[in-house]
Amino acid sequence: MAKLWQKTTNVDKLVENFTVGRDRELDRQMAAFDVLGSLAHTRMLESIGLMDAADLMLVQQELKALYLEIEHDNFEIEPDVEDVHSQVEMLLTRRIGEAGKKIHSGRSRNDQVLVDLKLFFRHQLQQVVTETDTLFRQLIQLSEEHKEVLLPGYTHLQVAMPSSFGLWFGAYAEGLADDLEMVLAAWKITNKNPLGSAAGYGSSFPLNRTMTTELLGFESLNHNVVYAQMGRGKTERIIAQALSSIAATLAKMAMDQCLYLSQNFAFVSYPENLTTGSSIMPHKKNPDVWEIMRGKCNRLQALPNDVALMTTNLPSGYHRELQLLKELLFPAFTDLIDCLQMATFMLQNISVNKNILDDPKYTYLFSVEEVNKAVLNGTPFRDAYKQIGLDIEAGNFNPEKTVSHTHEGSIGNLQNEQITNAMDKIIQSFDFKKVEDAISWLVK
């Protein structure tokens, strides 16, 4: 068994399998980032005299070749290799000999996996932001397109006051903008360099951590080496909060969709090929997409709790179960990104019912509108309220079914422009360009 740390004893096979767990499969997703970390680390080693120029050239060349192999899916963690860190170092040594054995000076797998995860999370967060932004634009577009179409608003699931498709779509757009504030916080905390903290206590080599911070396009570094190691778990916790925020917005929207698609509401519809059938009931067109989304997004809201339970009361320093955090976070990103994409796709195909309020059961939506008209004509609110109440009881309530709401954020003044400006501002706060430039320089 090829282990970086193997001296004489062979570890029991059961222990090996139990401790390696799902690393070979999950680490594959971090492989490109592991190589990036080594590209930066070895440049730094050369700059402080721990690697000569010739070795650096060999190492850089081979790491870049490996980066491309990973990009083209020509990379695997061999069955008897522990993890991606071991695989990369072994491949290098196999291909270029002695120089490969020098790359691990001043580094431990503890800070190596830390930096891999930060780079991986940064990449995933960027995708989350991009997909959230796309869904946001789709919602704003629908809100504008259907701003004249009224919809019953509910409280207690009882018919309450007039709402509109403009409000409904726009509400979820604004919700996503707020969710991205959480993602921005997660991004900022993720975007700090832990490399150089080694096993968690630094190194006697004069490492230049500022240099690797710049090379990897990080905003700053986790200064204190003990804190850098504590970032494992903490970063995941904060990311989990951010993902869970978006998930909560999506889950609520998915629930609305299921409800509004029900025949008892029939507010929206989808082309038949976006719904699913039943094996027994020939008439069925089920909203399975939204149901799966609701389930996945509800499950994602357990993520902060899962991370907290796994890490609560762990003392400072590295502990092996930190490895299990990958099992929580990696599929969470995949699920959320899938859900964001599916939500956009479904909304590109939604139809809205333009005549919902023709149904007499929605007549009482207009009770407050009528009270307010009387108030505007000089009747005190409580008297007007009572009069309309009595009319309703006597069956004499025949409102005009129009609304004129003008204040900020209401049916007639959606403020989609302000919401969009707020979203644009958040998106601009993510320094994706700096990250992309740093990475392309490292691999070129």
d(C-alpha 215, C-alpha 44), whole Å: 9
Among 24, 41, 43, 109, which residue interacts with ligand ARG (rule: CB under 6 A)? 109
Among 38, 110, 213, 416, which residue interacts with ligand ARG (rule: CB under 6 A)? 110
Of the pair 3, 401, the CB lying nearest ligand ARG is at: 3
Give yes or no for residue 23 binding ligand ARG (CB under 6 A).
yes
Query: Which residues does residue 240 pair with via DSSP β-bridges, in sequence order?
Result: none
Contacts of residue 354, Cβ cutoff 8 Å, sequence gap at least 6: 149
Give yes or no for residue 38 binding ligand ARG (CB under 6 A).
no
Integer angstrom CA distances of residue 166 from 145, 252, 295: 8, 17, 26
d(C-alpha 238, C-alpha 189), whole Å: 8
**Which residue sits closest to ligand ARG, CB atoms considered?**
323
Of the pair 320, 433, the CB lying nearest ligand ARG is at: 320
Minimum separation from the CB atom of position 439 to ligand ARG (A): 22
Among 34, 55, 62, 83, which residue interacts with ligand ARG (rule: CB under 6 A)? 83
Map the footprint of ligand ARG across residues 359-388, applying CB under 6 A.
none
Of the pair 101, 319, the CB lying nearest ligand ARG is at: 319
Of the pair 110, 222, the CB lying nearest ligand ARG is at: 110
Minimum separation from the CB atom of position 330 to ligand ARG (A): 11
Of the pair 266, 309, the CB lying nearest ligand ARG is at: 309
Of the pair 91, 342, the CB lying nearest ligand ARG is at: 91
d(C-alpha 149, C-alpha 163), whole Å: 9
Which x/- pattern over 120-159 shows residues binding ligand ARG (rule: CB under 6 A)?
Answer: ----------------------------------------
Of the pair 2, 68, the CB lying nearest ligand ARG is at: 2
d(C-alpha 330, C-alpha 332), whole Å: 5
Phi-psi region of 125 (alpha: psi -120 to 50; beta: other; left: phi over 0): alpha
Of the pair 30, 419, the CB lying nearest ligand ARG is at: 30
Integer angstrom CA distances of residue 139 from 132, 133, 170, 354: 11, 10, 6, 18
Minimum separation from the CB atom of position 238 to ligand ARG (A): 19
Query: Which residues does residue 352 pair with via DSSP β-bridges, in sequence order?
Result: 268
Contacts of residue 144, Cβ cutoff 8 Å, sequence gap at least 6: 166, 414, 416
Stretch that binds ligand ARG, among 54-62, 157-165, 315-323, 387-395 (CB under 6 A): 315-323
Minimum separation from the CB atom of position 98 to ligand ARG (A): 24
C-alpha 405, offset from chain centre: 35
Of the pair 32, 142, the CB lying nearest ligand ARG is at: 32
Minimum separation from the CB atom of position 351 to ligand ARG (A): 48
Minimum separation from the CB atom of position 30 to ligand ARG (A): 9
Q: In a 10 Å sphere around its CB, with 0-12 CB exposed, 13-18 middle and 19+ buried, how is residue 415 labelled?
A: middle
Minimum separation from the CB atom of position 113 to ligand ARG (A): 4
Minimum separation from the CB atom of position 5 to ligand ARG (A): 8
Contacts of residue 361, Cβ cutoff 8 Å, sequence gap at least 6: 159
Note whether 368 and 385 are within 8 A (CB). Answer: no
Minimum separation from the CB atom of position 111 to ligand ARG (A): 9
Q: Please give the structure tokens belonging to residue 333.
A: 């990103």
Nearest Cα to Cα of residue 163 among 148, 184, 176, 179: 148
Minimum separation from the CB atom of position 201 to ligand ARG (A): 13
Give yes or no for residue 116 binding ligand ARG (CB under 6 A).
no
Amino acid residing at 229: Q
C-alpha 268, offset from chain centre: 27
C-alpha 384, offset from chain centre: 49
Number of residues interacting with ligand ARG: please give it, by CB under 6 A.
Answer: 9
Stretch that binds ligand ARG, among 179-187, 298-306, 316-324, 330-338 (CB under 6 A): 316-324
Give yes or no for residue 322 binding ligand ARG (CB under 6 A).
yes
Give yes or no for residue 323 binding ligand ARG (CB under 6 A).
yes
CA angle 400, 402, 407 (to 5 degrees): 135
Note whether 259 and 265 are within 8 A (CB). Answer: yes
Integer angstrom CA distances of residue 299 from 4, 26, 371, 442: 37, 20, 44, 38
Binding site for ligand ARG (CB under 6 A): 23, 83, 109-110, 113, 318, 320, 322-323
